Amino acid sequence: MYQLTNKEVSRILKELAKLMELKGENKFKVRAYYNASRQLINMSDNIQDLAREGKIRNIPGVGEGIARSIKEIMEKGYSPELEELKAELPGGLLEIIKIPGLGPKRAYQLFNELGVTNLEELKSALNTGKARKLKGFGVKTEENLKNKIEKYESFKNTYLLKEALGILDELKRYIKKCPGVSRVKMTGEARRKKELVNSLEILVASKEKESVLEYLRKLSFAKSIEEKEENGYLLTFEDDIRIKVFIVPPDMFCFYLFYLTGSKDHVQKMETIADDAGYQLTIKGLYKDSSKIKVKNEEEIYTTLGVSYIIPELRENRGEITAGFKNCLPDSINLRDIKGDLHIHSSYSDGGFSIREIIEAARKKGYEYLAITDHSRSLKVASGLSVDRLFKQIEEIDKLQEEYDDIIIFKGIEVDINKDGSLDYSDEVLSYLDFVIASVHTAFNMDRDKMTSRLIKAMENPHVNAIGHPRGRLLKRRDAYKIDMDRIIQVASETNTCLEINSSPDRLDIDDVLARKAKEVGVKLVINTDAHHLEELNNMSLGVAVARRGWLEREDVINTMNAEELQELLRRD
């Protein structure tokens, strides 16, 4: 048997999963390989022991097929399966499947029929009109793909906040186990919770820099480590993920943390404030008359300079330092303030879970209420509910409500806003519902005035409680539709309509800047996940991050109210 580590086997399984995906193998099989690969990294058992004792099947999620693959890998030191796939499929295809709209199936078709093996060849196949001749392609798909490639290339090293947090958390957990490391934190845009993160950064406190570097070099999934600046190293991973790691002595940690978190403008303003107060603030310490001031943590950097502590989400030089001086920073909303989720899809439309499963998950979260808001009838692609199905759902909710006395289930809908601003159900139908979200899901390419009037008309309907994902953008994929948001915010205030902060990782819509504008004129916000699967209920933290960046407090957000207060607010009489 070969002495392979968990990490090495994990890497092989991941590679296998990717190539199987590319070949268009069964989705469940592919996902199982990805899962097994992750399990191997996280588990404490040694794969060699398990293999020796014949206990590979004991690893959670490892079925017969994967167990056979692992056994073969352990016996031969490599995976013949993987080598075979590799010989069949060129590596450049792996990049191609990252382009939205180009799944593994299409990538394989391009490879098989046109010999496309990488992004450059794909671009040329599109530009010369060769691709449009393939079955299922055509001119429209060609145009579409060209745009998607352009977008893909411009966002190549940009991560959605959720992706960035996931990647950084994983590396953080790993570095924490390194002997001699006292603290590890992410910095930069990820720590400020910006919706898109361009630079992934981790800060490590240790007195033994060399041994930390040695530890990092042993990461089998890191391709290279280069020294880039004083204390700063660039780690390049498979998939071309790049993470900057800074390793500093513990007494410099809080200053590096402050500087690397940024934003640049915020840091500069704080330097000026230090200057004015007769201090000198640098990345290595705070000085007065050239002697170093003792500062225990980041908070004390602020308080020493007479400013209240400013949370990372606010550090954008948008007035927070002045507010910190006057001690009038917002009492920022927290995840624990959220008492329920008011935008959830069930298996009645395109969600993956039954209403009962959703209720159970919401109770586990400690929520006081939730709203089931499936799609309305005209949204056929998402199995929108006919009026009959809607009433059937209402009946089911009534029945379920009788069983649960610790959570309120609001009957809701995400009703489509038609082109002319009318809604997809009559007012009479809507009057049976507790919570109505109106959203645009079709005809995005209207001119600005028409789109603005369309939403205004929806807000003027007395049954509408909130506008869902108000700008319709998909981060990295689709721009917001053209709309006059100042006007929307004004009408929201006149009609008492909430604006949603949609927490889907690729929406985060409305954003921090608009949320703050809305708050300033007294418009209420609602932070929802728009979950279609139970695990997406956890995206609430992303919406809360947007709210924190937008200076929101508890009272600006309706789903921080307790159940009775919210029922009172939603009462229709």
Query: From the CB of 345, what's the least distance to Zn ion, in Å?
Result: 6
CB of 415 to Zn ion, least distance (A): 10
CB neighbours of residue 168 within 10 Å = 23
Our CB check for Zn ion shows the closer of 87 and 381 to be: 381
Give the range of 303-311, 387-395, 425-433, 439-447 binding Zn ion by CB under 5 A.
Answer: 439-447
Closest residue by Cα to residue 436 from 474, 456, 410? 410
Please say whether the beta carbons of 284 and 240 come within 8 A: no
Stretch that binds Zn ion, among 112-120, 226-234, 396-404, 414-422 (CB under 5 A): 414-422
Nearer to Zn ion by C-beta: 346 or 439? Answer: 439
Q: Which is nearer to Zn ion, 471 or 549 (CB)?
A: 471
- Which stretches does DSSP call E strand in 312-467? 340-344, 369-375, 408-416, 435-439, 466-467
CB of 413 to Zn ion, least distance (A): 10
Q: How far is the CB of 435 from Zn ion (least distance, A)?
A: 12
Nearest approach in angstroms of CB 375 to Zn ion is 7
Residue 452 or 503: the one with the smaller Cβ distance to Zn ion is: 503
Q: Provide the minimum distance between the beta carbon of 414 and Zn ion in the complex, in angstroms, as a whole number.
A: 5
Q: How is residue 345 written in tokens?
A: 């899809």
Nearer to Zn ion, 79 or 502 (CB): 502
> Least separation, in Å, of the C-beta of 457 and Zn ion?
18
User: Candidates 27-35, 94-102, 294-302, 432-440 — which segment interacts with Zn ion by CB under 5 A?
Assistant: 432-440
Nearer to Zn ion, 393 or 439 (CB): 439
Strand-pair category, 369-375 with 340-344: parallel
Q: Which is nearer to Zn ion, 349 or 452 (CB)?
A: 349
Give yes or no for residue 439 binding Zn ion (CB under 5 A): yes
Least spacing, CB of residue 103 vs Zn ion, in Å:
23
- Considering the rule CB under 5 A, would residue 530 count as an interface residue with Zn ion? yes
First and final C-alpha spacing in the chain: 75
Q: Which is nearer to Zn ion, 32 or 437 (CB)?
A: 437
Q: Report which of 501, 515, 573, 526 is spatially closest to residue 549, judged by C-alpha positions.
A: 515
Based on the shown chain and the rule CB under 5 A, indicate whether residue 539 belongs to the binding site for Zn ion. no
**141-149, 157-165, 476-484, 528-536 -> range binding Zn ion (CB under 5 A):** 528-536
- With 0-12 / 13-18 / 19 or more C-beta atoms within 10 angstroms meaning exposed / middle / buried, residue 315 is buried
How many chain residues interact with Zn ion (CB under 5 A)?
3
Task: CB nearer to Zn ion: give 266 or 345.
Answer: 345
> Of 189, 414, 500, 511, which one interacts with Zn ion (CB under 5 A)?
414
**Cβ closest to Zn ion, residue 40 vs residue 415:** 415
Interacting span for Zn ion (CB under 5 A) from 140-148, 181-189, 410-418, 419-427? 410-418
Biggest CA pair distance of the chain? 77
Neighbour-count burial of 213, counting CB atoms closer than 10 A to its CB (0-12 exposed, 13-18 middle, 19+ buried) = middle
HEC sequence for 430-475: HCCCCEEEEECCCCCCCCHHHHHHHHHHHHHCCCCCEECCCCCCEC
Cα torsion 374, 485, 479, 198: sign: negative
Element (H, E) at 30: helix 27-42
Give the separation between CA 181 and CA 207, rounded to whole angstroms.
8
Q: Please tell me whether residue 500 binds Zn ion under the rule CB under 5 A.
A: no
**8 Å CB contact between 308 and 280:** no
Integer Cα distance of 444 and 448 in angstroms: 10
Site map 176..195 versus Zn ion, x via CB under 5 A: --------------------
Q: What is the DSSP code string of 119-164?
A: HHHHHHHHHTT-GGGSTT-HHHHHHHHHHHHHHHHHTTT-EEHHHH
Minimal distance, residue 100 CB to Zn ion, in Å: 18
Q: Which is nearer to Zn ion, 310 or 433 (CB)?
A: 433
Q: Return the CA Rg of the chain.
A: 27
- Supply the minimum distance, in Å, between the C-beta of residue 436 and Zn ion: 12
Q: Does 206 bind Zn ion (CB under 5 A)?
A: no
Residue 479 beta carbon to Zn ion: minimum distance, rounded to whole angstroms: 17
Least CB distance from residue 533 to Zn ion, whole Å?
12
Minimum CB distance to Zn ion smaller for 315 or for 411: 411
CB of 348 to Zn ion, least distance (A): 12
Q: Give DSSP secondary structure letters for 253-273.
A: HHHHHHHHH--HHHHHHHHHH
The span from the CA of 188 to the CA of 168, in Å, is 11
Q: Which long-range contacts (CB under 8 A, 24 or more apart) does 385-388 make?
A: 385/348, 385/349, 385/413, 387/425, 387/429
**573: CB partners within 8 A, 6+ apart:** none
Cβ closer to Zn ion: 188 or 470?
A: 470
Of the candidate spans 66-74, 152-160, 164-172, 527-535, the one that interacts with Zn ion by CB under 5 A turns out to be: 527-535
**What does the binding site for Zn ion look like in residue numbers (CB under 5 A)?**
414, 439, 530
